[in-house]
């Protein structure tokens, strides 16, 4: 009898602890001790029900890049920038070929106000090309 009592006394605090766990604590612990095969790593799209993180940010359109980075100069003609909608200005620049214009967009034009990437440090090459396309086609 004493042994049984001793056992109950020994087990009671553990029982009390188990009862004390809140729902969220339980969920947390269950998630932590879940078998590895049921765990999801970020970006692992084989996990059902868990949205995978996209690997690369979705590219901005030429119009978005233009509005964000190029408009300041190319809508005002600041420092002699060819303006959006000025078909003549762009037609004469296009005589050097689109590759040259893309290169100017990415590298800038030395000695002018046209800085590399129009100052958009986080723009990819493709986003700059899209912005150049947008300007060359006069915003269409
Ligand atoms: C700080 C002002 C400024 C910003 C911002 C700017 N540009 Fe320019 N851009 C210029 C100027 C000035 C020129 C004219 C340079 C010259 O004299 O050939 C120019 C010219 C260009 C040309 C023609 C270059 C050539 O070889 O004829 C392209 C293409 C161009 N910019 C693309 C862009 C793009 C794309 C952006 C935005 C991502 C941008 N620019 C942002 C000032 C700017």
Pocket residue to mutate for ligand 1, from 107, 118, 131, 138, most atoms within 8 A of Cβ: 118
Same domain, 34 and 79: no
Q: Which residue has the higher pLDDT, 119 or 27?
A: 119
Same domain, 67 and 128: yes
pLDDT at 54: 54
The Cβ of residue 136 has, within 10 Å, a number of other Cβ atoms equal to: 20
Domain that holds residue 41: 1-55
| Distance from C-alpha of 49 to C-alpha of 4, rounded to nearest angstrom | 48
Same domain, 51 and 66: no
* Number of the ligand 1 atom closest to the C-alpha atom of 66: 37
| CA-based torsion, 102, 108, 114, 118: positive or negative | positive
CA angle (47, 45, 125) in 5-degree steps: 160
| Distance from C-alpha of 41 to C-alpha of 82, rounded to nearest angstrom | 48
Q: Which residue has the higher pLDDT, 107 or 36?
A: 107
| Distance from C-alpha of 22 to C-alpha of 4, rounded to nearest angstrom | 29
pLDDT at 33: 72
Same domain, 112 and 73: yes
Scanning the structure block, which residue is given the tokens 């809140």? 22
Q: Residue 27 has which token pair?
A: 């969920």
* % of the chain surpassing 90 pLDDT: 56
Same domain, 92 and 73: yes
Q: What is the mean pLDDT of residues 66-78?
A: 96
Pocket residue to mutate for ligand 1, from 65, 109, 115, 133, most atoms within 8 A of Cβ: 109
pTM: 0.69
| Distance from C-alpha of 5 to C-alpha of 135, rounded to nearest angstrom | 86
pLDDT tens, position by position, 31-56: 777 665 566 666 666 666 555 555 55
């Amino acid at each position: 009898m004493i042994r049984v009592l001793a056992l109950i006394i020994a087990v009671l605090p553990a029982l009390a602890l188990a009862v004390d766990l809140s729902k969220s604590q339980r969920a947390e612990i269950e998630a932590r001790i879940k078998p590895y095969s049921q765990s999801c790593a970020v970006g692992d799209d084989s996990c059902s029900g868990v949205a995978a993180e996209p690997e690369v940010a979705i590219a901005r359109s030429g119009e978005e890049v233009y509005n964000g980075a190029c408009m300041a100069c190319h809508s005002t003609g600041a420092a002699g920038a060819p303006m959006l909608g000025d078909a003549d200005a762009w037609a004469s620049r296009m005589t050097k070929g689109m590759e040259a214009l893309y290169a100017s967009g990415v590298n800038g034009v030395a000695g002018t106000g046209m800085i590399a990437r129009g100052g958009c440090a986080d723009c990819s090459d493709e986003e700059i090309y899209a912005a150049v396309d947008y300007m060359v086609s006069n915003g269409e």
